Amino acid sequence: MKLLVIEDDREAAAYIAKGLSESGYVVDQAAEGRNGLFMASSGNYDALIVDRMLPGMDGLALIAALRAAEVRTPVLILSALGAVDDRVKGLRAGGDDYLVKPFAFRELLARIEALLRRGSGSAAATKLRVGDLEMDLLTRGVARGGQEIELLPREFRLLEFLMRHAGQVVTRTMLLENVWDYHFDPQTNVIDVHVSRLRQKIDKGFAKPLLHTVRGAGYCLRPE
């Protein structure tokens, strides 16, 4: 799942982004209100984390603009303003939750998970399936044919992206940008190594492979 952190405090933004990435999320960042609004308006995010006090455009104004444009992405507001009136203003502006600074990261993570559950509308919407391979996006569990498969966070992100694009050829560039957050090719074999490890975990011991290499193009996850 992909999140956008809109926070002008560099240390706080880096702390949040690092923790979320380690928890298996793909994270983009914006340090200014107007740029954050532009990125959030794309609709490519599963949830937004928005600081209330931002340069260029106030966080509440940003959220109100998104709601006026009918962008319904769940929003968690971060703010040092913790009075009841402040929290009420944030929620009435269109925020879905409000977390007062300072906060424990595990609480932020729990609130994001709750927003994603709420936004999914149903438990079924939080699960991906390709053939007999299943992924639960909330419990972060993966199983094939009922057999549990343990994945590292990066492997989980890689498999999630492949499952969301099942049946399609996924290029190296797509993987670099969406799984590794690289917008250039670092000329390493990082993708090949991770795909090889993932293939060992999801295909080894099963009669039919799911993860296929498309020569000269990329990879494709599909049942035979």
pTM above 0.85, yes or no: no
CATH of 125-221, one of 3.40.640.10, 3.30.70.100, 1.10.3720.10, 1.10.10.10: 1.10.10.10
pLDDT in tens, 87-137: 999 999 899 999 998 888 989 999 998 888 876 544 435 788 999 999 988
Ranges of the chain whose pLDDT falls below 70: 119-125, 183-188
- Residue-level pLDDT at 25: 87
Q: What's 2-120's CATH class?
A: alpha beta
Q: Which two tokens stand for residue 101?
A: 């600074």
pLDDT in tens, 166-179: 898 998 888 887 78
- Residue-level pLDDT at 119: 63
- Residue-level pLDDT at 22: 82
Alpha-helical segments (H) within 32-152: 33-40, 59-68, 84-92, 105-120
Q: How many whole angstroms separate alpha carbon 8 and alpha carbon 54? A: 6
Contact by Cβ (8 Å): 49, 7: yes
Q: Could you tell me which residues come within 8 angstroms of residue 204 by beta carbon, excluding any fewer than 6 positions away? A: none
Extended strands (E) in the chain: 2-6, 26-30, 47-51, 75-79, 97-100, 127-130, 133-136, 141-144, 147-149, 211-214, 218-221
Question: What residue spans define the domains of the chain?
Answer: 2-120, 125-221
Partners of residue 142 on adjacent β-strands: 135, 149
